[in-house]
Chain A
Amino acid sequence: MESINYREEKKHPAAVHGKYRSASNSPYRKLTGWFKKKKKGTEASRHARRAYKNLPQVSFSMTVLVLTLIFLFLPLIVITVFSFNSGKALVWNSFSLEWYYKLFFHSERLWHSFINSLIVAFVSAFIAVVMGTFAALGVQWYRFRGRAYIQTVSLLPMVLPEVVIGMSMLIFFSALNIPLGFFTIISAHITFCLPFVFLLVLARLEEFDFSIIEASRDLGATEGQTLFKVILPAIFPAILSGFLMAVTLSLEDFVITFFVSGPGTTTLPLYVFSMVRYGISPVINALSFVMILGTMFIAFMLRNLLKGIAASS
Chain B
Amino acid sequence: MKRKEVRSLFYSFPMGAWFTVFFVVPLLIIASYSFMKKGLYGGVVFERSFYAYVQLWSADYGILFFRTLWISVLVTFLCIVIALPAGYAIARSKHQLFFLFLIVIPFWTNSLIRINAWIAILGNQGFLNSLFKRLHLITHSLPLLYSRTSVILVLLYMSLPYAIFPIFSAIDKFDFSLLEAARDLGAGKTQSIMVILLPNIRAGIITAIIFTFIPVFGSYTVPLLVGGKGSYMLGNLIVDQVTKIRNWPLASAFSVLITAFSTMCVIWMMYISIKQEKKQKRKG
The answer to whether the Cβ of B45 comes within 8 Å of any Cβ in the partner chain is no
Q: Provide the bound-state CA to CA distance between A259 and B235, in Å.
A: 13
Let me know if B101 and A131 touch, CB within 8 A: no
The answer to whether the Cβ of B112 comes within 8 Å of any Cβ in the partner chain is yes
The answer to whether the Cβ of A292 comes within 8 Å of any Cβ in the partner chain is yes
Question: Inside 8 A of B165's CB, which chain A residues have their CB?
Answer: 309-311, 313
A36-54 near B? 1/0 per residue, CB < 8 Å: 1100010011011101110
Contact of B130 among A91, A142, A168, A272 (CB under 8 A): A91
Let me know if A292 and B92 touch, CB within 8 A: no
The answer to whether the Cβ of A97 comes within 8 Å of any Cβ in the partner chain is no
Let me know if B103 and A72 touch, CB within 8 A: yes
Decide: A295 near B105, CB < 8 A? Known: A82-B127, A251-B110.
yes
Contact of B101 among A91, A273, A284, A303 (CB under 8 A): A303
Q: Provide the bound-state CA to CA distance between A284 and B110, in Å.
A: 12
Let me know if B105 and A299 touch, CB within 8 A: yes
Q: Provide the bound-state CA to CA distance between A298 and B107, in Å.
A: 12
The answer to whether the Cβ of A230 comes within 8 Å of any Cβ in the partner chain is no
Q: Provide the bound-state CA to CA distance between A188 and B266, in Å.
A: 22
Let me know if A69 and B30 touch, CB within 8 A: no
Contact of A45 among B125, B175, B255 (CB under 8 A): B175
B166 CB → nearest A CB, Å? 7
Decide: A49 near B255, CB < 8 A? Known: A35-B101, A72-B103, A269-B112.
no
In the complex, identify which listed stretch (A2-10, A14-22, A133-141, A207-215) lies at the interface while the others stay far away. A133-141
Let me know if B19 and A161 touch, CB within 8 A: no
B60-73 near A? 1/0 per residue, CB < 8 Å: 00000000000000
Question: Inside 8 A of A187's CB, which chain B residues have their CB?
Answer: 22
The answer to whether the Cβ of A105 comes within 8 Å of any Cβ in the partner chain is no
The answer to whether the Cβ of A115 comes within 8 Å of any Cβ in the partner chain is no
B111-137 near A? 1/0 per residue, CB < 8 Å: 111111111110101110010001000
The answer to whether the Cβ of B201 comes within 8 Å of any Cβ in the partner chain is no
Decide: A191 near B22, CB < 8 A? Known: A53-B92, A313-B166.
yes
Q: Provide the bound-state CA to CA distance between A292 and B104, in Å.
A: 11
Interface residues of B in 156-197 (CB under 8 A from A): 157, 160-162, 164-166, 168-169, 172, 175-177, 179-180
Let me know if A254 and B215 touch, CB within 8 A: no
The answer to whether the Cβ of A232 comes within 8 Å of any Cβ in the partner chain is no
Question: Inside 8 A of A142's CB, which chain B residues have their CB?
Answer: 4-5, 7-8, 11-12
The answer to whether the Cβ of B230 comes within 8 Å of any Cβ in the partner chain is no
Let me know if B176 and A131 touch, CB within 8 A: no
Chain B interface, number of residues (Cβ within 8 angstroms): 105
Let me know if B15 and A168 touch, CB within 8 A: no
Question: Inside 8 A of B20's CB, which chain A residues have their CB?
Answer: 153
| Size bracket, chain A contacts | 35 or more
Let me know if B11 and A272 touch, CB within 8 A: no
A266-307 near B? 1/0 per residue, CB < 8 Å: 001100110111001000110110011001101110011011
Let me know if A153 and B127 touch, CB within 8 A: no
Interface of B is mostly: helix
In the complex, identify which listed stretch (B50-58, B142-150, B218-226) lies at the interface while the others stay far away. B218-226
B1-24 near A? 1/0 per residue, CB < 8 Å: 000110111111111101110111
Interface residues of A in 159-178 (CB under 8 A from B): 159-165, 167-172, 174-175
Let me know if B97 and A163 touch, CB within 8 A: no
A82-104 near B? 1/0 per residue, CB < 8 Å: 10000001110000000000000
B110 CB → nearest A CB, Å? 5
Let me know if A79 and B116 touch, CB within 8 A: yes
Let me know if A307 and B172 touch, CB within 8 A: yes
The answer to whether the Cβ of A219 comes within 8 Å of any Cβ in the partner chain is no
Decide: A156 near B127, CB < 8 A? Known: A168-B26, A259-B242, A307-B97.
no
Contact of A68 among B82, B217, B220, B251 (CB under 8 A): B82
Q: Provide the bound-state CA to CA distance between A223 and B239, in Å.
A: 49
Let me know if B242 and A167 touch, CB within 8 A: yes
Q: Provide the bound-state CA to CA distance between A248 and B30, in Å.
A: 29
Contact of A134 among B15, B125, B169 (CB under 8 A): B15
Q: Provide the bound-state CA to CA distance between A64 and B95, in Å.
A: 16
Question: Inside 8 A of B177's CB, which chain A residues have their CB?
Answer: 44-45, 47-48
Q: 4 other contacts beyond A146-B12, A147-B12, A254-B112, with CB at 8 A cut-off?
A: A64-B89, A82-B127, A159-B210, A168-B255
8 A-B Cβ contacts within 8 A? A36-B97, A53-B93, A64-B82, A153-B20, A170-B242, A194-B18, A273-B112, A313-B162
Residues on A facing B (Cβ under 8 Å)? 34-37, 41, 44-45, 47-49, 51-53, 55, 57, 59-62, 64-65, 68-69, 71-76, 78-79, 82, 89-91, 130-132, 134-135, 137-139, 141-147, 149-150, 153-157, 159-165, 167-172, 174-175, 187-188, 190-191, 194, 198, 223, 248, 251-252, 254-255, 258-259, 268-269, 272-273, 275-277, 280, 284-285, 287-288, 291-292, 295-296, 298-300, 303-304, 306-307, 309-311, 313
- Please name the 3 residue pairs, one residue from A and one from B, whose CB atoms are nearest each other, closest first: A161-B218, A138-B11, A142-B8
